[in-house]
Amino acid sequence: MSELTLPQGAPEEVVTAALHREVDLTPFGHKGTLSLITLDNGMDHNRPNTFGPKSLAALNDAISTAEASSSVAIAITGKPFIFAAGADLSALSFLDKKEQALAIGKLGHDVFRRLGSSTKPTFAFINGLALGGGLEVGLHCNYRTMATTTFSALPECFLGLVPGWGGATILPKLIGPEKAVQVIILNALNNNTMLRAKDALALGVSDAIFEPSDFLENSVKFAADVLSGKRKIERSNFTKDDAAWDVALATGKAAIAKKYGGAQITAPLKALDLIGAAKSNSLSEGFAAEDIALAELTMSDPLRASLYAFNLIQKKRKKVEGAPKPALARKVTKVGVVGAGLMASQLALIMLRNLKVPVVITDLDQERVDKGLAYIKSELAKLVEKKRMSQESAARLSTLITGSTDKSIFADANFVIEAIFEELSLKQELFKELESIVAPDCILATNTSSLSVTKMSDGLKNPERVIGFHFFNPVAVMPLLEIARTAATDDATTATAVAVGKELKKTMVIVKDSPAFVVNRLLTRFMGEITDAIDEGTPPDVADSAMVPLGLPMSSLELLGLVGPGVALHVAQTLHANLGDRYRISPTMERFVKEGIKTFYIKDDAGNRVANPAALALIEKGTTPSSAEEVRIRALSALAQEARMMLDEGVVATAAEIDLCMLLGCGWPMHLGGILPYLDREGFSEKVSGSRFHPPGVASLPK
């Protein structure tokens, strides 16, 4: 097979070898040998097997060797704990011709389909992680086993692609359209949810699962039993049930619309088309359609943007920009949480689960403390019920969580975080009280979303141990943690905060202490432009639909309902006081808070989302309405202006950190590649500030 030539400058491929050996089936009850191909890139477990052109050629050669041998069947497996993670995505950003993209798609199909069209029965022994093309190579085989520890997925739609090496065509034929939509569309759009082995078995993706300790032996026995007829695997024909295909495709369309707020996002829609076409397409027709779809997406800005965002997230998970040396971090053996409300209880729970040290919560009265403790223990019980934690582990953690109304219980704590009401004077008073109780090197952290950490530490004897530790709600789900460092915060405090954040499995960005840090500052500016437009007379539905083309996870007024008008107004007031009139105070929001309006949208009797009449009655009656396009331009221009100011002020060190914050802190869509590459591509960056945030070609096609 000829080798594909990548463009000059493409990264050198880490070749996944395809190692061939013959396994005697006689001890397993069948005559002859099994040609076993093992994928192994020779790297440790941090670098999974991937398929670039050279790796595909190696697999092709191994299949040829197996075909030419006297074996009675062919099987493919992976190196320990890893089957394969699909295409080598690092090369995609270097492609500059559609013909190259088509060739990559066809190359993968040509190699993989040999496993499905072989005259010998073929088996995939999926012994570990199987993603994208890694799962697709298994789908081409006639039969599949999985280790019970395997996680598998087709994450392409999450990345702005489609399953392009057979997955979009084979899977609907194998397990039916409804289940295929679940795996290819719904799971991918739900933050790339993976299948556990038992789920893959239930769906029909796998034919059998075995424990990893004797996985290969049992898989070979499975193959021998299939070959001898002792074990029969029945397959269903799903092509005749028209209604099932219609329902499945409708479900996919609804999920895409919900995920992207009604925006027409190309990748998942193309994947849905391929699933629908699989009903009548032959394999060859389906594979050809996948080649075309894959090439078109590969040569598009949304894919480059998604890859930029994906690589940024992966990189920043491992390395925190500007973090002091880890050796400076102090050991944390006890954590204190001031407050027992919902946010404080979530903080206590995540500290308890991940640090596994004593955690104590306090509040103004015992009733509140007891309520917080009850919440934490009920959440542990839910984890046991869902089999995400053993009964023994939950019982052990329950002994580590206590509560009190007396803050002196913090005396031997190393790390105390407050999550009380967002009032500066209350937090200042609290920190002064805590300073008289805890040791001089105990970290005092605040979960404030907008107040000055510097002002909280005013007058303290040890302001160097005060730091912002801002989580996002819900704490267990949202991956971002903003660590706000004041001018006085020392390296040991910062290093300890980063070490704790790593234990909590958060992606961290170190920010300069400034009003609302990164996410809330940008979100408040953005939402403020929408509410200002409404105050000026723009109909709410027009203003709220302005950003639909971007595919944001929710509209501005939906987000208002999630955050709450009270919180939104408080943050806006803080930013107005600190940053000036570009953060205007909306009279409509003031009325919402005064009258107790919690949300702009409500559900009618039929369950449909409608505007809340009580909210509509309180809207400012402006006389200068704007169109949706004018509102969109206005909001995006404001974001470009604010981001430039933040970089000039040194709130963060790089533009990429702003992208990361918005991707992980507010769900800025992956297909836009982060907020700043999008503003660059759309021309807002240069229009507003005279320059781009990123060099040309970042998160877009090379020009």
CATH number (domain holding residue 559): 1.10.1040.50
Examine the pLDDT at 425 and tell me if it is beyond 50.
yes
Q: Is the pLDDT of residue 695 over 60?
A: yes
Over residues 199-210, mean pLDDT: 97
d(CA 498, CA 19): 42
Give tens-digit pLDDT for 343-360: 999 999 999 999 999 999
- Does a structural domain hold residue 349? yes
In a shared domain, residues 120 and 216: yes
Whether 42 and 149 share a structural domain: yes
68-96 pLDDT per residue, tens:
999 999 999 999 999 999 888 777 767 77
Confidence of residue 2 (pLDDT cuts 50, 70, 90): very low
306 in any annotated domain: no
Q: Are 102 and 240 part of one and the same domain?
A: yes
- Is residue 435 in a domain? yes
The DSSP code sequence of 394-450 is HHHHHTTEEEES-GGGGTT-SEEEE---S-HHHHHHHHHHHHTTS-TTSEEEE--SS
User: Per the domain annotation, does 698 fall within a domain?
Assistant: no
pLDDT at 703: 60
Give the pLDDT confidence score for residue 409 in this predicted structure: 96
Q: Which pLDDT band holds residue 11 (cuts at 50, 70, 90)?
A: low
pLDDT over 90 percentage in the chain: 83
User: Domain span at residue 507?
Assistant: 326-512
pLDDT at 651 over 50: yes
Predicted confidence (pLDDT) per residue in 103-151, tens digit: 889 999 999 999 999 999 999 999 999 999 999 999 999 999 999 999 9
**pLDDT band at residue 263 using 50, 70 and 90 as cut-offs:** confident
Q: For residue 503, tell me if it sits in a domain.
A: yes
Residues 200 and 246 both lie in one domain: yes
Q: Is the distance from CB of 320 to CB of 660 less than 8 angstroms? A: no
Last residue of a domain, one of 480, 512, 544: 512
Q: Please state, in angstroms and as integers, the Cα–Cα distance from residue 130 to each residue in 89, 268, 274, 576, 673, following that order.
A: 15, 20, 21, 50, 25
Residue 162 has pLDDT above 70, yes or no: yes
Tell me which H or E stretch contains 314. helix 301-318
Q: How many domains does the chain have?
A: 3
Q: Is the pLDDT of residue 670 over 50?
A: yes
Q: Rounded to 5 degrees, what are φ and ψ at 405?
A: -95, -5
Answer yes or no: is 334 within a domain.
Answer: yes
pLDDT of 191 > 90? The answer is no
* 534 & 501 share domain: no
**pLDDT at residue 12 is higher than 80:** no
For 650, the enclosing helix (H) or strand (E) is none
Comparing CA positions, the residue from 293, 83, 70, 271 lying closest to residue 184 is: 271
Question: 388 pLDDT band (50/70/90 cuts)?
Answer: confident
pLDDT at 495 over 80: yes
The mean pLDDT value for 387-407 works out to 95
Residue-level pLDDT at 203: 97
Q: Which tokens belong to 8?
A: 């000059």
Whether 529 and 475 map to the same domain: the answer is no
Instruction: Judge if the upstream peptide bond of residue 474 is cis by omega within 30 degrees of 0.
Output: yes
Averaged pLDDT score across all residues of the chain = 94
Residues 250 and 368 in one domain: no
- From 491, 512, 533, the end of a domain falls on 512
Average pLDDT, integer, range 48-71:
95
Place of tokens 């907008």: 450
Residue 317 placed within a domain: no
pLDDT for position 494:
98
On whether residue 3 sits in a domain, the answer given is no
Q: How confident is the model at residue 1 (pLDDT cuts 50, 70, 90)?
A: very low
* 51 and 178 both lie in a single domain: yes
Rounded Cα distance, 133 and 130, in Å:
8
What CATH number is given to the structural domain containing 434?
3.40.50.720
> At 73, is the secondary structure helix, strand, or coil?
strand
Both 395 and 531 in one domain: the answer is: no
Query: In this structure, are 174 and 290 located in the same domain?
Result: yes
State pLDDT tens for residues 274-321: 999 999 999 999 999 999 999 999 888 888 899 899 889 989 988 999
Same domain, 536 and 602: yes
Residue 489 phi/psi, 5-degree rounding, is -60, 130
pTM of the entire predicted model? 0.89
- Give the end of a domain, one of 610, 633, 650: 650
What does the pLDDT average to over 152-177? 96
Average pLDDT over residues 511-535: 96
Predicted pLDDT of residue 512? 97
Q: What are the residues whose beta carbons fall under 8 Å from the beta carbon of 690, sequence distance 6 or more?
A: none
Q: What is the pLDDT of residues 213-230, one digit of tens each?
A: 999 999 999 999 999 999
Co-location of 486 and 541 in the same domain: no
Mean pLDDT of 383-389: 90
The Cβ of residue 499 has, within 10 Å, a number of other Cβ atoms equal to: 17
